[in-house]
Amino acid sequence: MKCILYLTFVLCSNIFVTSGRFLIQDAHISVPHMIKAAGYPAEKHRTTTADGYILQLYRIPGGRREKENFKTSTKAKEAVLVMHGIFGCSTNFLIMGPDRSLGYMLADAGYDVWLGNLRGNLHTAHLNLTRDNPKFWEYSFHEHGKYDVPALIDKVLAVTGLRRIMYIGHSMGTTSLLTTLALRPEYNDRVLAFVALAPAVYFDHMKSMAQVFIKTFSISDFLRSQGIMSASLKPELQDRLVANICSVKHSKDNICTLLLQVIVGEDLEQTDEDVTMQLMARIQPASWRQLEHFGKIALTSRFTSWEGGILGPVKPYNMSNIKVPVLLLYGENDQVAEKSQVMRLARELNTSGIVEDVRPGCSWPKFNHVDFLFAKDLGTLLNRPLLKRIRKLFNKYGLKISIA
């Protein structure tokens, strides 16, 4: 019973992640190898947070045409830090390949691209704690915002010599930066603009689901009591499950595709079954507290800290501390970061006059939460127009590259 409940819950939870058009075995190749195989230069960096987590960053310092000469250029580049969501990692922005994935398209557009990783996924570790230690998993997006994002930003600034960078986040990657800016307002001076893709902050439309999960079943507490400390599967088991249940080539018959569509919004036209296999093969571990913290927000309808736990006091983050200009993009059919909830976030942020725009990510009416990462026509639907908006933000707020 324990195993059935655990597998069911993890498979139902792990749908906010990444995918690509490669074989399952390719899901485990190194990120620098993936980048270089696509024809781009790649670097691997790491930073350590104030509380001891080791985070890997992957850099694409040049586009395909710059592969040989980018190191000899004396011109400083505008830098972009790109951040994944829950159950994801830096490959979110690579696996659709050149001309579709945002990481490659940013590099080809002339930017210095940095792909970050937040504690918990397989590109991270701890100085003293192993993954088997329960203390390793005592975090949510609160710690991502308080420790991880600042460490990643500081690393990019230290390596590039810049004073400010642009930040692009998807889903929880947006939540993390908002938390950083609210808790540590000095970082407003280090981020020149913020592009929020499917920002995951408010979940009033999911309140009933959160109540069932948190108040009735207490699934995460049960799993902890059984020694299961995170929402994850062993890689070999994960691969077997993917091969057995996600390999059907027709979307309407693919259990993984149908499950994904139920949660994030139906968009079979932009779904590729090979992508769905990669979605499941590339699932990254996450802590139960991450899910519980989002549940607390859904229950209270407030962007509140985790302090005191799921039933603890409501202590909203101070949104008035956030001063970075932000572009908010939502999917018309996103069932996770639902349109009305993104509009609510925009109204709250704009009390400080920082919202550049809030709009659909593209004109496709079925665009959902994960289409921001792996829609079939990702390059044309989202990323090409997005590059124009990014250029305008740099022109407006970063005309002169500031070197520290």
The larger pLDDT score, comparing residue 398 to residue 236, is at 398
| pLDDT for the residue numbered 13 | 43
Q: What are the backbone dihedrals phi and psi of residue 400, each rounded to the nearest 5 degrees, phi first?
A: -110, 125
Task: Identify the pLDDT of residue 69.
Answer: 62
Beta strand segments in 61-151, E:
79-83, 112-115, 124-126
pLDDT value of residue 94 = 95
Which is more confident, 143 or 228?
143
**Confidence at residue 402, expressed as pLDDT on a 0 to 100 scale:** 55
Architecture in CATH for domain 23-232+286-397: 3-Layer(aba) Sandwich (3.40)
pLDDT band with cut points at 50, 70 and 90 for residue 228: confident
Mapped onto helix, strand or coil, the DSSP state of residue 47 is: strand
Q: Which helix (H) or strand (E) holds 245?
A: helix 235-245
State the pLDDT at residue 188: 98
Q: Please state the domain extents for the chain.
A: 23-232+286-397
Beta carbons of 42 and 31 less than 8 angstroms apart: yes
Highest mean pLDDT among 86-90, 274-278, 283-287: 86-90
- Give the count of alpha carbons within 13 A of 282, CB side only: 34
User: Which has the higher per-residue pLDDT, 235 or 55?
Assistant: 55
Q: How far is CA 14 from CA 49, 111, 264, 345, in A?
A: 26, 31, 11, 25
Burial of 399 (0-12, 13-18, 19+ CB in 10 A): exposed
Query: Among residues 164, 18, 4, which one has the least CA distance to residue 83?
Result: 18
Give the pLDDT band of residue 4 (cuts 50, 70, 90): very low
pLDDT in tens, 120-171: 999 999 999 999 999 999 999 999 999 999 999 999 999 999 999 999 999 9
Cα–Cα distance for residue pair 197/195, rounded to 1 Å: 6
Residue % of the chain over a pLDDT of 90: 65
Mean pLDDT rounded to a whole number for the chain = 86
Indicate the burial class of 299 (C-beta count within 10 angstroms; 0-12, 13-18, 19 or more). Answer: buried
Torsion angle (degrees, nearest 10) of CA 394, 395, 401, 402 = -80
Q: How far apart are CA 337 and CA 317, in angstroms?
A: 19
Q: 399 versus 330: which is more confidently predicted?
A: 330
Helix axes 255-264, 235-245, angle to 10 degrees: 100
The pTM (predicted TM-score) of the whole model is 0.89
Going by C-alpha positions, the residue among 263, 270, 276, 260 that lies closest to residue 363 is: 270
Query: Do residues 61 and 162 lie in contact, with contact meaning Cβ atoms separated by under 8 Å?
Result: no
Residue 385 — φ and ψ, nearest 5°? -65, -35
Pairing of strands 326-330, 191-197: parallel
Is the pLDDT assigned to residue 3 strictly greater than 70? Answer: no
Burial code of 322-341, b = ≥16 C-beta within 10 A, e = fewer?
bbbbbbbbbbbbbbbbbeeb
Per-residue pLDDT band for 209 (boundaries 50, 70, 90) equals low
* Per-residue model confidence (pLDDT) at position 223: 75
Q: Which of the four pLDDT bands, split at 50, 70 and 90, describes residue 73?
A: low
Confidence of residue 67 (pLDDT cuts 50, 70, 90): low
Give how far Cα 141 sits from Cα of 129, 180, 324, 327, Å. Answer: 19, 10, 19, 21
Give the SS3 label for residue 104: helix
